Amino acid sequence: MSLPELLHGRLSLPVVASPLFIVSGPELVAAQCKAGIVGSFPALNARPAEMLDDWLVQIKEEVTEYALQNPLLPVAPFAVNQICHPSNDRLQVDMAVCVRHRVPIIITSLQLPQWIVDATHSYGGLVFHDVTNIQHACRAAAMGVDGLILVCAGAGGHAGTHSPFALLREIRQWFDKTVLLSGAISDGFGIASAQMLGADMAYIGTRFIATEEANATSAHKQMLIDYAASDIVYTNLITGVHGNYLGPSLVAAGLDPANLPQSDKSKMNFGSGGNTKAKAWKDIWSAGQGIGGIKDAPAVARVVATMRDDYDKAVASFGHKYPAPAPNVRA
Same-domain status, 170 and 190: yes
Same domain, 182 and 310: yes
Which segments of 70-128 does DSSP mark as H helices, in order?
Answer: 91-101, 114-121
- pLDDT for 242 equals 87
User: In this structure, is residue 327 part of a structural domain?
Assistant: no
Task: Convert the pLDDT of each residue in 59-116 to its tens digit.
Answer: 999 999 999 999 999 999 999 999 999 989 999 999 999 999 999 999 999 999 999 9
277-293: pLDDT as tens digits: 435 557 889 999 999 99
Co-location of 141 and 261 in the same domain: no
Going by the DSSP 8-state scheme, the letter that residue 45 receives in this structure is: G
Measured between alpha carbons, how far is 274 from 268 in angstroms, rounded to an integer? 9
The answer to whether residues 175 and 272 belong to one domain is no
Q: Is residue 155 domain-shared with residue 12, that is, in the same domain?
A: yes
Question: Which residues, including other chains, have CB under 8 Å from residue 100's CB and lie 6 or more apart?
Answer: none
* Model confidence band, residue 259 (pLDDT cutoffs 50, 70, 90): confident
Q: Is residue 140 part of a domain?
A: yes
Beta strands per DSSP E along 230-318: 232-235, 243-246
Report yes or no on 331 lying in a domain. Answer: no
Chain centre to alpha carbon of residue 48 = 23
Question: Is 122 within 8 Å of 129 (Cβ atoms)?
Answer: no
- Answer yes or no: are the C-beta atoms of 39 and 33 closer than 8 Å: yes
d(C-alpha 173, C-alpha 170), whole Å: 6
Query: Is there a contact between 130 and 107 (Cβ–Cβ < 8 Å)?
Result: yes
Same domain (yes/no): 130, 254: no
The DSSP secondary structure of 23-60, one letter per residue, reads: T--HHHHHHHHHTTSBEEEEGGGSSSTTHHHHHHHHHH
Domain that holds residue 259: 218-282
Residue 130 lies in a domain: yes
Q: Looking at the domain assignment, is residue 294 inside a domain?
A: no
pTM, two decimal places: 0.92
Both 129 and 16 in a single domain? yes
Q: What is the mean pLDDT of residues 291-311?
A: 97
d(CA 300, CA 33): 10
Peptide bond into 48 cis (omega under 30): yes
Residue 132 shares a structural domain with residue 253: no
- Are 270 and 83 in contact by the 8 Å Cβ rule? The answer is yes
State whether 56 and 108 are in the same domain. Answer: yes
Same domain flag for 114 and 254: no
CATH number at residue 84: 3.20.20.70
The total number of structural domains in the chain stands at 2
Higher-confidence position of 139 and 322:
139
User: Residues 6 or more apart from 137 whose CB is under 8 A from it?
Assistant: 131, 148, 150, 171, 175
Residue 293 in any domain: the answer is: no
- The verdict on residue 67 lying in a domain is yes
Do 119 and 224 reside in the same domain of the chain? no
Q: Do residue 194 and residue 239 come from a single domain?
A: no
Q: Is residue 296 part of a domain?
A: no
Phi, psi dihedrals of residue 162, rounded to the nearest 5°? -75, 140
- Altogether, the residues listed in the chain come to a count of 331
- Band of pLDDT at residue 269, cut at 50, 70 and 90: low
